[in-house]
Structure 1
Amino acid sequence: MGNVRQDVIEATVDIFATVEAVWKLVSEPGWFINGGAIAPHKIETDGAFSTVHDAIYGKFVFETVTLDAPHYAAFRSLGGDYWDDPVPNTMVEFWVEATNAGATRLRVMESGLAAFVDGEHARVISTKTQGWTAEMLAAQRHLSRN
C-alpha cells in the first residue's frame, strides 16, 4: 500500500477574548504572516483574491474561499515571496467557537500538504507545524484580555 503522506496540520488554542474579536483577526487574509507577533498588513483586494504585504516576509496571495461570520473562514494560499513553495496551493481553514470556560477556541487546519514533492514534503510539514504553533500563540497573546 505504500506510505501515506501527511496531508493536514491542525492546531488549537483557547483565547480569553470574544468570538467577535477572534473572528475579526482570522477573517483577514494572511493575518498569520508575521515575525511571531500580529502586525498590520497592507492588503490589496481584487474580488476573492488578496495580496498581503508583510514588512518582514514580502507579499503573499490568498483566495478567500469562505467567510461564514463569526465561526468559519477558509483561504487558499497561492504562494508568496518568502516561501519558495513549488505549487501546490494549500487550504487554510479557521474555526472560532465559544467555550464553556468563557474563552474562545480557535482551531486551524491546513490541508493539501501531501502534494508537495518527496524532497520538500518533510520540510514543509515540519516548518508549517512549528509555524502554526507560533501563530496560534501569537493570536492568543494579541487578543487575550488582561
Structure 2
Amino acid sequence: MTDELDRIERDITIDAPMDRVWTLVAEPGWYINDNEWTEHRLEHDGDLTTVHDPIHGAFVFRTVTLDEPHYAAFRWLADHTDPDSPSTLVEFRLTALDTDTTELRVTETGFDSLPGDASERRTRFEENSRGWTTELEIAKRHLEKDGSVARR
C-alpha cells in the first residue's frame, strides 16, 4: 500500500470553544456512530478502552497520548479480543481559531499493518476515508447543538 492509501487527513471548523471539543476527542471511540450521535458503554482497563456500540459491537482503543487541550492519539486495534493486534493510529489536533471556534484535524495512519490482503486493506481505508468526513460532521452538530458535551 502506498502512502497515498495509508494516511487519511480531514479537518473541520467547529463553533465551540477548544475545551468543549477536547472533552469529546479525549474519549476513545467517540467516532463510532451510525450517521448520527450514538451513546456508548465504555469499559476502561489501564490504557485500553472497549467501546460497546449498540449496532456495530465492540471496539478496542489504546490511549497513546493525551496532551490537553491540543492533541490526543489512540491506537484502533484490529481485533477487539487481542490487545496486541495490529492497529491504526488515530490522532486529533485542536487549534483555537478564536475563543469560540476550534479547528479539529484528524489523521489516521497504519492501514499497511492491518491483516488481510491489499484489497481488504484498501476497502478498510476507503470506508474510513468516507467515515471521517461523516464523523467530523456528526461531532460538529453534536458540539454546536446545545453548547455542552456529556461524557459517555
Q: Is the 8 A contact 1:16 1:145 kept in 2?
A: no
AA at the equivalent of 1:34: N
Q: Is the 8 A contact 2:88 2:113 kept in 1?
A: no
Matching residue of 2:67? 68
Which aligned pairs between 1:36-47 and structure 2 lie closer than 5 A? 36-47=35-46
Separation in 1 of the partners of 2:138 and 2:109? 21
Q: How does the TM-score come out when normalised to structure 2?
A: 0.83
Q: State the match for 1:89 in structure 2.
A: 87
Per the normalisation by structure 1, the TM-score is: 0.87
Q: Is the 8 A contact 1:11 1:108 kept in 2?
A: yes
Unaligned runs of 5+ in 1: 82-86
| Match in the other structure for 1:98 | 96
Between the aligned partners of 1:88 and 1:120, the Cα distance in structure 2 is: 14
Asked if 2 retains the 8 angstrom alpha-carbon contact of 1:66 and 1:74, the reply is yes
Give ranges in structure 2 of 5+ residues lacking alignment: 147-152
Question: 1:63, 1:75 within 8 Å by CA — same for their partners in 2?
Answer: yes
Q: Amino acid of the residue matched to residue 47 of structure 1? A: G
Distance in 2 of aligned mates of 1:80 and 1:88: 8
Kept in 1, the 8 Å contact 2:18–2:100? The answer is: no
Cα distance in 1 for partners of 2:98, 2:53 equals 36
- Aligned in 2, Cα 1:24/1:99: closer, same or farther, shift over 3 Å? same
* 1:70 counterpart letter in structure 2: P
Matched, 1:56 2:55: yes
**Structure 1: 4+ residue segments shifted above 3 A:** none
What is the CA deviation profile of residues 54-88 of structure 1, one whole-angstrom value per residue up to 9, with x for unaligned ones? 1111111110010111110000011357xxxxx63
Equivalences for 1:1-146 in 2 at 5 Å? 4-5=2-3, 6-79=5-78, 88-100=86-98, 102-116=100-114, 117-144=117-144
Cα distance in structure 2, aligned partners of 1:46 and 1:4: 34
Report the number of matched residues.
139
Of all paired residues, the percent bearing the same amino acid is 45
The alpha-carbon distance between structure 1 residues 145 and 51, as it changes in their structure 2 partners (threshold 3 A), is: closer
Q: Which amino acid aligns with 1:109?
A: T
